[in-house]
Structures are given as structure tokens and as C-alpha cells.
């Protein structure tokens, strides 16, 4: 195996995804790095000192939500039983007016329930979400980790107090397509693009250990204008498989994008392939991935201020044994 796989997409053997994935999995594997019992992967890069430094970035007190809506209007299309949230009222104002709720002295109330896949809108992929040849994060057998009872080892609840750190926005869409701020579908973002974005944005976007990197492609802005279309699972700009080395050596804690699948789609092969970068970074590097984040308001705010780092708070819901979680991440500027 090549110890240092190429970071240039043109060097990929587009007929052999198996070999290209394996080369990067072997080169960047973090198994055992934080001990045999580790359940956090690269979230271990965030330490108390990193959070103290991140807190010092708050200057305006402005809070920007990075979540899409959770409702029946999108973006899911039912692929692999991923549907949009179904929100149902179990008690309403009408019930209260009619006195049918059984409360004394005129008391009334409203209650509701929601049913949804945990990865239907803005969310984190947990470490139990993706396997590589039957192996889960840290070299465990997939069947020993995730059973019908859920992720018994690396459930998302372990990250409940981990994901607060310095956030860095890399607005690659704005850099490469200044007229629109939107990369075309199928555009593969390379390590060179990420580095060029850091250089162009300046010192506040330098990326280092424990940072949470947000990559804005602009696809969500286009989707809002044109309709959901194939946003959920169709063609999209995203990270190239060849960025695996960059994601490893920068020692970032997590990464998120404004697209459905984080990596470029169609994937970079001429034969059947599906989310090869996921296969490298989740079970091998131990990287937590966020998808379907809304980065448009944040992009405008950062461009206006010329500052691209901020305090980011994005804890998952502590859903026991889950392999992902819906979230409302917030950037505090």
C-alpha cells in the first residue's frame, strides 16, 4: 500500500474504489490512539483549554443557528426509510376551550409528539454509523458494536458534553464562485481548495487541533431557491476522497457541510461506489461528521466581519445507543 496516498483527484484509479479506500484507511487509521476502550475518536482532540480559547472568541454576543428546519417540507425522499419529521399534536387549544382535558379551575395546555429518523435534517453521524469491511471504529467488529439494541459501545450519548469548541468556517463556495457563492453539483473539494480558502480568508480561519470545521458549498442556498429536487442523495459538491489525509493531519475534532452527504456526489469512480470518504473517516479515523447544516447566515456574517472563527456549541441529543442525532448547532460570534 502507498503510505502517503495522493491528494490529487486526477491520480485516483477510478476503476478501483476498493484499493483507493484501503490505501487511505491504512494510512490514516487512528485505532488504539486513545486506548482500546475509546468511544469518542477525534472528539478527543477537544480539551478544556481548547474550549477556553474558543470562549474568548465571543465578541458580539450574536448567536447564529446552523440548523435547517425539522418539518414535513423536506429534504428527505424516503431513501432507506429516511422520511421527514411527522409532528402531531396530542393536546390542543381547541381541547382546552372545550374543557375536555380534565384539568381543574380552567387550566388548559398543549402537548405534541414527533416521529422522525435521527438523520432526517441537521445532524451528526456517530461513530457507529459506518463500517469498513465489517469493522467499526477502533478495530471492533461491527456486530459487537451495533445490534438490534443499538450502538452498545460508541452510542451518540457519549458525545453529549464533548462537542463544544472553536468553529472555523471555510466558505469554499464564496471563494471559488464569488459571483454566486455556490459550487456546482459534482464539484470535488480538494485539500488544495481547503488550504487556499484558509489563505484567502486569513489568520482567523487557520485550522488546528480540536477545531470543528464547517465547509460551506452553497448547495443549500441554491436548493432554497430552486426547490429540494435531488438534494437528499443526488449530485452535490463535497469533499473529495483525497482530502482524507488533510482531515487526519489537521487533527480537527469534527467537520460538517451544508450538503446531504458531506462528500462529493457522484462519488469519484467509474464503477459502483458509495460514500467512500465516509468509509475512511468514520470507522478508521474516528471522525464525527455533520450534514445538512445551514451555513448561509454564518457565511454572510463572517464575510462582513472578516472573521471566520467563533465559539461553536453542537452537542447531540443523548439518545441512548443511537448512531446519529439531530442537532441545533449554534455559532456564537
Give the pLDDT confidence of 197-220 residue by residue, as tens digits. 999 999 999 999 999 999 999 999
Is the domain of 233 the same as that of 99?
no
d(CA 48, CA 192): 31
Compute the mean pLDDT over every residue in the chain, rounded to the nearest whole number: 97
Give pLDDT, residue 78. Answer: 86
Is the domain of 286 the same as that of 158?
yes
CATH of the domain at 237: 3.50.30.50
Is 135 domain-assigned? yes
For the segment 119-170, what is each residue's pLDDT rounded down to a tens digit? 999 999 999 999 999 999 999 999 999 999 999 999 999 999 999 999 999 9
Is the domain of 14 the same as that of 132?
yes
pTM of the model: 0.95
Give pLDDT, residue 214. Answer: 98
For the segment 34-91, what is each residue's pLDDT rounded down to a tens digit? 999 999 999 999 999 999 999 999 999 999 999 999 999 989 988 888 999 999 999 9
d(CA 241, CA 249): 15
Give the residue from 115, 136, 160 where a domain finishes: 115
d(CA 208, CA 182): 26
Is the domain of 108 the same as that of 27?
no
Is 3 domain-assigned? no
Q: Are 153 and 39 in contact (CB under 8 A)?
A: yes
Is the domain of 134 the same as that of 156?
yes
Is 201 domain-assigned? yes
Give pLDDT, residue 265. Answer: 98
Bridge pairing between strands 146-147 and 324-326: unpaired
Is 261 domain-assigned? yes
Q: Tell me which residue range forms the domain holding 224.
A: 9-79+117-332
Q: Taking the CB of residue 229, how many other CB atoms lie within 10 A of it?
A: 14
What mean pLDDT is predicted for residues 263-271?
98
Give pLDDT, residue 2. Answer: 47
Is the domain of 68 the same as that of 101?
no
Lowest-pLDDT range of 97-111, 133-147, 264-278:
97-111
Helix H or strand E segment including 65: strand 63-65
Is the domain of 268 the same as that of 221?
yes
d(CA 138, CA 286): 7
Give pLDDT, residue 272. Answer: 97
Closest CA to 46 of 312, 332, 333: 312
- Total tally of structural domains belonging to the chain: 2
d(CA 30, CA 331): 29
d(CA 124, CA 291): 7
Q: Is the pLDDT of residue 268 over 70?
A: yes
**Sequence-ordered list of residues with C-beta below 8 angstroms from that of 322, at least 6 positions apart, any chain:** 118, 126, 150, 151, 155, 156, 157, 316
What mean pLDDT is predicted for residues 3-11?
93
What mean pLDDT is predicted for residues 244-257?
98
Amino acid at each position: 500500500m502507498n503510505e502517503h496516498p495522493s491528494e490529487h483527484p486526477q491520480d485516483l484509479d477510478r476503476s478501483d474504489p476498493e484499493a483507493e479506500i484501503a490505501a487511505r484507511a491504512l494510512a490514516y487509521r487512528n485505532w488504539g490512539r486513545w486506548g482500546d476502550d475509546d468511544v469518542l475518536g477525534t472528539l478527543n482532540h477537544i480539551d478544556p483549554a481548547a474550549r477556553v480559547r474558543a470562549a474568548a472568541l465571543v465578541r458580539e454576543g450574536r448567536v447564529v443557528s446552523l440548523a435547517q428546519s425539522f418539518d414535513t417540507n423536506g429534504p428527505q425522499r424516503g431513501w432507506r426509510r429516511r422520511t421527514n419529521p411527522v409532528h402531531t399534536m396530542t393536546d390542543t387549544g381547541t381541547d382546552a376551550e372545550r374543557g375536555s382535558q380534565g384539568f381543574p379551575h380552567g387550566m388548559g395546555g398543549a402537548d405534541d409528539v414527533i416521529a422522525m429518523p435521527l438523520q432526517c435534517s441537521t445532524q451528526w453521524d456517530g461513530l457507529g454509523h459506518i463500517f469498513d469491511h465489517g469493522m467499526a471504529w477502533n478495530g471492533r467488529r461491527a456486530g459487537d458494536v451495533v445490534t438490534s439494541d443499538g450502538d452498545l459501545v460508541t452510542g451518540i450519548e457519549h458525545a453529549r458534553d464533548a462537542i463544544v469548541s472553536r468553529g472555523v468556517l471555510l466558505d469554499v463556495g464564496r471563494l471559488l464562485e464569488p459571483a454566486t457563492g455556490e459550487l456546482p453539483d459534482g464539484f470535488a473539494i480538494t485539500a488544495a481548495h481547503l488550504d487556499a480558502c484558509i489563505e484567502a480568508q486569513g489568520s482567523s480561519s487557520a485550522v488546528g487541533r480540536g477545531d470543528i470545521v464547517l465547509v460551506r458549498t452553497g448547495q443549500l442556498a441554491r436548493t432554497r431557491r430552486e426547490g429540494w429536487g435531488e438534494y437528499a442523495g443526488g449530485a452535490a459538491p463535497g469533499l473529495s476522497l483525497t482530502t482524507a489525509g488533510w482531515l487526519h493531519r489537521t487533527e480537527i475534532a469534527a467537520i460538517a457541510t451544508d450538503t446531504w452527504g458531506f462528500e462529493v456526489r457522484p462519488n469519484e469512480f467509474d464503477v459502483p461506489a458509495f460514500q467512500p470518504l465516509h468509509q475512511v473517516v468514520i470507522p478508521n479515523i474516528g471522525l464525527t461528521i455533520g450534514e445538512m447544516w445551514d451555513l448561509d447566515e454564518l457565511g454572510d456574517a463572517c464575510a462582513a466581519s472578516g472573521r471566520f472563527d467563533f465559539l461553536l456549541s453542537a452537542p447531540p441529543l443523548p439518545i441512548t445507543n443511537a448512531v446519529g442525532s439531530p442537532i441545533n448547532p449554534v455559532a456564537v460570534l
